[in-house]
Amino acid sequence: MTQAAKDTATKKETASGTLVAVVGPSGVGKDSLIDIARRHFAGRDDLRFVRRVITRAEDSVGEDHHAVTPEAFEELSKSGAFAVSWQAHGLGYGIPADVYDDLASGHVVIANGSRSALDAFHAAFPHLVVVNVTARPEILAKRLASRGRETAADIEARLARSSEPLPPGLHIVTIDNSGELDLAGKELVNLIEDLFDKG
């Protein structure tokens, strides 16, 4: 085990803060809800919104992220640079291990996660809250179609995956984003505020 990995393991053991993993199918509005929370809590030094490491171009459509090549991602993963990493849709995603610094300070950390990686999140973070963002199938299908990125078959496959159950044993809060975005955003803001109140 490298010294960096040992340091990470020590920080993990002392992590009293909570990591909030926001998950949900593509097109459900995770990034939009996170942006609402980011604006609401702007200026707080005890709350961090994670900038993920992703193997796609910096200027691609979607979230603000740190872009790396697949080769660099593999090296980062081997060196212990990630608290959690996973592969989805042909891309590598990583949550930087330095989130343990925030968690060790008792802070709240918000990360855009993945339902397929929740077992890894559960193993990595002693205090984990999963925010499962959902939307009615017809709403989700309409949003995906409007993006023009997927075929009808792709959309059908995404909708099928969106109904798959999440792993058992997790603290899960579900937010329905079928309606007004601001209402769902307020639910996320309230959840985060509750974490501060309990802390």
Domain locations along the chain: 3-198
Per-residue pLDDT 10s for the chain (199 aa) are 566 666 666 666 667 899 999 999 888 999 999 999 999 999 999 999 999 999 987 766 667 789 999 999 999 999 999 999 999 888 999 999 999 999 999 999 999 999 999 999 999 999 999 999 999 988 888 888 887 667 777 777 777 776 778 899 999 999 999 999 999 999 999 999 999 887 6
Q: Can you name the CATH fold of 3-198?
A: Rossmann fold (3.40.50)
d(CA 84, CA 93): 8
Check residue 9 and give its pLDDT: 64
Task: For residue 20, give the nearest of 146, 129, 118 by alpha carbon.
Answer: 129
* pTM, full prediction: 0.88
137-147 and 152-162 helices cross at what angle (nearest 10)?
A: 140
